[in-house]
Amino acid sequence: MDEPEAGLNFHEFELDDRLLRDIARLGWISPTLVQEKAIPFLLEGKDVLIRARTGSGKTAAFAIPIIQNVLRYKSETAVRETSVIVMAPSQDLCHQIAKVFANLTYSCGPLMRVVDLSSKEEKATHRHLLAERPDIVVSTPARLRAVLADGTLNVRESLRCVTIDEADLMFSFGFEKDLKEVLKHFPPVHQSVLCSATLEDDVVALKKMILHNPIILKLEEPQLAVGNQLTHYQIEAEEVDKAAILYTALKLKLIQGKCIIFVKSVDRCYRLKLFLEQFDIRSCILNSELPIKIRCHTVNQFNQGIYDTIIASDEQIAENPNLVKKKNDKKPSTKQLLQQNESESSVSRGIDFQCVSCVVNFDFPSDINSYIHRAGRTARGNNRGSVLSFVGVEEMEMKKNVEEFLQTLAGDAEFSMKDFSFSFEEVEAFRYRAKDAWRAITKLSIREARIKELKMEMFNSEKLKAFFEENPRDFQTLRHDRPLHTVHVQEHMGDVPEYLVPNSLKPMIDVMNAKRKKKLVEKHAAAKKRKAKESEDPLLVDGIDYMKKSRM
């Protein structure tokens, strides 16, 4: 986390000892700029509009004072009531916010209860959760509107604070009507907080709806990290060449560390995963079609370093802005409503990917905001990062627009995206391999891969639920980067023969091949040991396979 110049520490805010203990447990010593400025105003109960860039610590900026204020309320009365509502535009973001609250209330035990209503649970489940009158409710506007309308949740007398995160997306995601209905159930006097990366017209409209004489924190910081902290690269390439460059860069370790690869659709995610799979490059997909728990599990394993490459698509709003109902549009069709619901499950915006070294725009973003949010996944806190963008002929105009925007961030200094040094003459054999592998992926293989993963994840999350609850270690072994095997994979393609490698990179490849051979030896040894056990007792097989057979 960034340390402000004044060197302020969290204990100087006069927070509850339990809250300070949890802050220390998370390893936070000094507040970020947005936290230093926002927390004092929020502790005083003032309405605040927070504008700060992605990765600046906005969630903790409103979570810490909320918890402090709730602890103060509870010291004055023993009545259990819902006094705080936090809204966010997607299930993933709601889950992430709820997790921050859970981490910051760990030392409070049962005294403080937080409920996340964003998951697609039955009404009876929501009714049971809300019957205990949790102190803090986190939800999307649509879910919140439902429980308020049917009387499952009543906050007319108890509500003290309302917070809306990623406010700039609320109207874009089609939540305008839901928000207006939700506000009818709130008391006239309560504290309100808006958090947004931008101050566009929709945010201004939302500000008028819920804020009263607010403090506006428009922090003097760029929307992206600047200077040497974040480096922007570009390379002009068309479809097949993009795949060849990416394969070569990953295989020769020209891209190192944890990497997020952005494409423009879920189908493209699977095409790219199947392509990399042919070269023994493991990757996982962040798929909005999968359940929230699976998506969060995928992100958590990526953050823990279990795998290094994750492929994600932009939220549908960024790619298809015309699909969303605007203020003066006619009533949306059933198809548009379904697409709006899908956008609620967006997976890339606002999610906290940790320690990302590089963002790769395999498909160049469709607008400047998308570029900002993609690039904002890296160079967070004091960490350095880089963005590599592939640019086709049709994308040159948008690239120029992005460069002009980045020039405004650079100020007086001249700015242009650096050229990614890449000579096809030195790696022509890689290019030949990549073209064959890319062409081998058909629409049918992509469809089969999507069906296979959906079935696998559904089985793991439902049929083995009880098993994983009893065996949490086995749940940790559930990997989302396993090969899908819907395209024929030739084992030798995972090796990089010495004659293919440029002279300057040969020492690095020797080390990589040595590690690969070691892994293969270990893999064969483990398979041999397992086969020996199975011959002794057919029931002594892998725990997950055994549970699958026993429950089918």
- For the chain, which domains are there? 10-218 (3.40.50.300), 224-316+348-441+487-523 (3.40.50.300)
Structural contact between residues 432 and 241, judged by C-beta atoms closer than 8 angstroms? no
**Residue predicted with more confidence, 256 or 346:** 256
**Residue predicted with more confidence, 502 or 273:** 273
Indicate if the pLDDT at residue 539 is higher than 60.
no
Structural contact between residues 115 and 137, judged by C-beta atoms closer than 8 angstroms? yes
Indicate if the pLDDT at residue 492 is higher than 90.
no
d(CA 350, CA 348): 6
Percent helix, strand, coil in the chain, to 5, is 50, 10, 40
Render pLDDT for 56-92 as a digit per residue (tens, 0 to 9): 788 999 999 999 999 999 988 878 899 999 999 888 8
Residue with tokens 């492929």: 311
Render pLDDT for 95-150 as a digit per residue (tens, 0 to 9): 999 999 999 999 998 899 999 998 766 778 888 889 989 999 999 999 999 999 99
Q: In what order do the strands lie in the sheet with 418-419?
A: 284-286, 309-313, 259-263, 358-361, 385-391, 230-236, 418-419
Q: What is the share, in percent, of the chain residues with pLDDT greater than 70? A: 75
CA 16, distance to chain mean position in Å, is: 31
Render pLDDT for 264-303 as a digit per residue (tens, 0 to 9): 999 999 999 999 999 989 899 988 777 767 787 888 888 8
Which range scores top for mean pLDDT: 231-240, 296-305, 542-551?
Answer: 231-240
Indicate if the pLDDT at residue 310 is higher than 80.
yes
Cα 373 to Cα 224, 259, 312, distances in angstroms: 9, 15, 13
Render pLDDT for 363-380 as a digit per residue (tens, 0 to 9): 999 988 889 888 888 887
pLDDT confidence tier of residue 20, bands split at 50, 70 and 90 = very high
Tokens representing 539 are 């029931």
**CB neighbours of residue 447 within 10 Å:** 13
Structural contact between residues 129 and 387, judged by C-beta atoms closer than 8 angstroms? no
For 43, phi then psi, to 5°, come to -65, -30
